[in-house]
Chains A and B, each alone.
Chain A
């Protein structure tokens, strides 16, 4: 028995309710994700959760507006660059502390270049690390979803395979 595939996650939805609702929802999701990342070091949440919510907003764009429209906003090239940039921010802050004479990720040493006091330097250091984690997790989640939903094919070749 052949069951026809009923879901195609990379096709543009033709329901006006779904499209309007997601267009209204996506900006608020992204603002909330930035809030979670920015307040991660003294309240529940953090880089990982905020990054997942940021990635979910782009995935919602792919589901409702189709892969082609979403890739115009967030190309796979930009996605790969962001994925590496986040790791660079994380490791860069750690190595900066090492260069300034402390241990790896010892944020107190950042006071020598920021001149804001040791406590504030620690707070800013962990904030920078959270931002790095958030960027990497966002790009990673989008990359995993695109690989599963398109079967790992480049975006130009999917149209021909669609039945």
Chain B
């Protein structure tokens, strides 16, 4: 593992996490959460945990995003707080 690459990826993960929490548009927040999952997946692949990365890509970035979008489509798109 290369610690410089780890650090850059962790920075991206942190940016995506803060972005998903602060964005007012809920659909945008879901897409940023998908990007977070994707960076997490790359980070795990880089650290050698391929099985965990596979699960993260399938569940976190794949099914999770679809379920969140389905939930957002049942409510209002903009959050009030």
Q: Which residues of A pack against B, CB within 8 Å?
A: 3, 5-9, 44-46, 48-49, 52-53, 55-56, 59, 63, 141, 144-145, 148-149, 151
CA distance A141 to B62 in the complex (A): 11
Minimum distance in angstroms from B42 CB to a CB of chain A? 15
- In the assembled complex, B73 has its CB within 8 A of some CB on chain A: yes
Taking a contact as CB atoms closer than 8 A, the residue among B53, B55, B63, B76 that contacts A55 in the complex is B63
- Mark out the residues of chain B between 39 and 81 whose CB falls within 8 Å of any chain A CB in the assembled complex: 50-51, 53-55, 58-59, 62-63, 66-67, 69-74, 76-78
- What number of A-B contacts does a CB cutoff of 8 Å give? 54
Q: Which residues of A contact B50 (CB under 8 A)?
A: 44
Taking the closest CB of chain A, its distance from the CB of B50, in whole angstroms, is 4
User: How near does chain A come to B37, taking the closest CB pair, in angstroms?
Assistant: 13
Total interface residues in chain B, CB < 8 Å: 21
Query: Do B67 and A52 touch across chains, with their CB atoms under 8 A apart?
Result: no
A144 to B53, CA, bound (A): 23
> A46 vs B54: C-alpha distance in the bound complex, in angstroms?
10
A53 to B58, CA, bound (A): 7
Contacts of B51 in A (CB 8 A): 44-46
Contact in complex: A6, B77 (CB < 8 Å): yes
Query: Which residue of A44, A53, A59 contacts B66 across the interface (Cβ within 8 Å)?
Result: A59
Q: How far is the CB of B12 from chain A (nearest CB, A)?
A: 23
Q: Which 6 A-B pairs have the closest CB atoms?
A: A7-B73, A44-B50, A149-B70, A148-B70, A52-B58, A44-B51
> Of the candidates B55, B67, B69, B78, which one forms a contact with A49 in the assembled complex, judged by CB atoms under 8 Å apart?
B55
Residues of A within 8 A of B78 (CB): 3
User: For the complex, what is the distance from the CA of A56 to the CA of B66, rounded to whole Å?
Assistant: 9
Q: What are 24 contact pairs spanning A and B, CB under 8 A? A: A3-B78, A6-B77, A7-B27, A7-B69, A8-B73, A9-B69, A44-B50, A45-B51, A49-B54, A49-B58, A52-B58, A56-B62, A56-B66, A59-B63, A59-B66, A141-B63, A144-B67, A145-B63, A145-B66, A145-B67, A145-B70, A149-B70, A149-B73, A151-B74
* The one of B63, B74, B76 that contacts A52, using a Cβ cutoff of 8 Å: B63
- Residue B55 contacts which of A48, A145, A151 (CB distance < 8 angstroms)? A48
